[in-house]
Amino acid sequence: MPFRDLIGQRHARLLLQGALRSARISHAYVFVGPAGTGRLTTARAFAQALLCAEGGDDACDRCAACRKVRAGAHPDLRVISAGRTESGAERRAVGIDQIRELKREAAYGPYEGRRKVFIVEDAEAMRAEAANSLLKLVEEPPPGIVIILISESTEALLPTLVSRSQPVRFGFIPASEVVRVLRQQAGVPEDRAAFLAALSGGRVGRALAAAAAGEDPFERRAEVLRTLEVALRGDIIRLLDAAESVARQRDGIERWLDVALLWVRDVLAWQEAGDAAALANADARPEVVAWARRANPAALRTAAMAIETAKVDLRRNLNARLVLETLFATMASSVPASRS
Ligand SMILES: [Zn+2]
């Protein structure tokens, strides 16, 4: 995808296209910002422009090199991500073997064009051994090599790696922009687009992934609310069943938690301010109001905190079922006895 088709991230685009125009390409970049805000897409756009036969500050999107990049088949563009090991087990970080392979390829230099581009995803999760190995390459890069590290923050990276790379910062995409993209690119109706945009919290990639998953976000929310109601009623047996059924959703667990958190925050906000304009679930206002009337504010606040904790625990790769059981048990125990 060329730069002109990217969503938002004007700052990153100006910086990278400026580098292309002046032909002052750094041998290493670190793209820093939240996941789902276009870091990888922008890295691919930059790689495409670097490899495009036409040159210039954006890819032509027509030449043979551009077509190969688009098809993921250009021999001078490699994307390294945690992915899976050869035995099929799930990796949690880019490993030393992958960095060794990268260095071997880098030593050969470009295969077709003037440059060879390596994109390293989730660079913050790299272990010390792999990061140190990569550092040596960044310190003494062979000619024509461009390395793009993608990371949530610079703090998690080796400071020496950061200091030898050009930083490019990525921010959250404004909700109005996410709504526009969902409507134009994914054909999502306006009310659902507004909800998905609120749910994505400015991570347009997540909103598009949710739209691509094809599920109706409102049906999804209804299902989340049924489970939340059980949790807030404190029936321990049904809670364990609920934890198990949510845990079975695997890739959907984080979205489940996001939907639940957005709802609990809306109910709390309505209890505190009664401001309809502030609701993320604006389409479901009567239900938010009904919940706000009957839910205990202290229990809701506990629920919101417990959901945030569950999100962090999941990211730390704790067992999903245990995380959810703890979450639901915390919610249930926060409900005043007279109401359960
Ligand atoms: Zn081209």
In a shared domain, residues 138 and 246 = no
Q: Higher-confidence residue: 313 or 337?
A: 313
Measured at the alpha carbon of residue 51, what is the angle toward residues 49 and 53, in degrees to the nearest 5? 90
Tell me the three state secondary structure of residue 121. Answer: coil
- Within-domain flag for 196: no
Is residue 236 within 8 Å of 332, Cβ to Cβ? yes
How many A from CA of 40 to the centre of ligand 1?
A: 19
Domain final position from 104, 134, 169: 169
Quote the pLDDT of residue 235. 76
Question: What residues flank ion ligand 1 with Cβ within 5 A?
Answer: 52, 54, 59-60, 63, 66
- Asked if residue 193 belongs to a domain, the reply is no
In the chain, the amino acid numbered 112 is: E
CATH at residue 295 = 1.20.272.10
279 and 146 assigned to the same domain: no
Is position 24 within any domain? yes
Whether 99 and 222 map to the same domain: the answer is: no
Backbone phi, then psi, for 79, in 5-degree steps? -110, 120
Whether residue 182 is contained in a domain is answered as: no
pLDDT computed for residue 89 by the predictor: 63
Query: pLDDT for 10-45, tens place per residue?
Result: 999 999 999 999 999 999 999 999 999 999 999 999
Query: What is the CA(47)–ligand 1 centre distance, in A?
Result: 11
22 and 159 in a single domain? The answer is yes
CA of 182 to the centre of ligand 1 (A): 27
Per-residue pLDDT band for 315 (boundaries 50, 70, 90) equals confident
Query: Is residue 110 domain-shared with residue 30, that is, in the same domain?
Result: yes
Q: How far is the CA of 152 from the centre of ligand 1 (A)?
A: 30
Q: Are strands 77-80 and 28-32 parallel, antiparallel or unpaired?
A: unpaired
Residue 340 pLDDT more than 60? no
**Is residue 101 located within the same domain as residue 227?**
no
Mean pLDDT of the region 53-58: 92
Residue 318 included in any domain? yes
Q: pTM for the complete prediction?
A: 0.82
* Closest C-alpha among 337, 321, 329 to residue 230: 329
CA of 68 relative to ligand 1 center, distance in Å:
9
User: Cα dihedral angle (29, 11, 123, 76), rounded to 10 degrees?
Assistant: -50
Same domain, 254 and 132: no
**Ligand 1 centroid to 23 CA: how many Å?**
16
Same domain, 144 and 15: yes
pLDDT digits (tens, 9 = 90+) for 201-230: 999 998 998 899 888 899 999 999 998 888
Number of domains in the chain: 2
Which among 169, 203, 229 is the end of a domain?
169
Sign of the alpha-carbon torsion through 320, 325, 326, 328: positive
**pLDDT (0 to 100) of residue 224:** 93
Q: Comparing 315 with 50, which gets the higher pLDDT? A: 50
Both 12 and 127 in one domain: the answer is: yes
Task: Decide if 198 is inside a domain.
Answer: no
Average pLDDT for the chain: 91
Using the mean position of ligand 1's atoms as its centre, give its distance from the Cα of residue 36 in Å.
26
Centre of ligand 1 from the C-alpha of residue 96, in Å: 33
Q: Which of 101, 136, 169 is the last residue of a domain?
A: 169
Question: Where would I find the H helices in 23-56?
Answer: 39-51
Distance, CA 42 to ligand 1 centroid (Å)? 16
pLDDT at position 88 is 61
Is 101 a member of any domain? Answer: yes
Q: Give the model's pLDDT for residue 92.
A: 76
Distance (Å, rounded) from C-alpha 326 to C-alpha 323? 5
The pLDDT assigned to 236 comes to 77
Q: 38 and 145 share a domain?
A: yes
pLDDT confidence of residue 232: 79
Q: Are the CB atoms for 327 and 266 separated by under 8 Å?
A: no
Centroid of ligand 1 to alpha carbon of 303 (angstroms):
51
**122 and 227 part of one domain:** no
CA of 62 to the centre of ligand 1 (A): 5
- Predicted confidence at residue 210, as pLDDT, reads 87
User: Same domain, yes or no, for 153 and 222?
Assistant: no
Please, which residues bridge with residue 303 across strands?
Answer: none
Position 25 scores a pLDDT of 96
Q: DSSP assignment, residue 268?
A: H
Strand ordering across the sheet containing 145-151: 77-80, 116-120, 145-151, 28-32, 166-169
CA of 115 to the centre of ligand 1 (A): 14
The pLDDT, as a whole number, for residue 125 is 86
Instruction: Give percent of the chain with pLDDT exceeding 90.
Output: 70
Count of alpha carbons within 13 angstroms of residue 289, beta-carbon side: 8
Domain that holds residue 124: 3-169
227-282: per-residue pLDDT in tens?
A: 888 887 877 788 888 888 898 887 789 889 999 999 999 999 999 998 888 899 99
Which CATH number does the domain housing residue 78 bear? 3.40.50.300
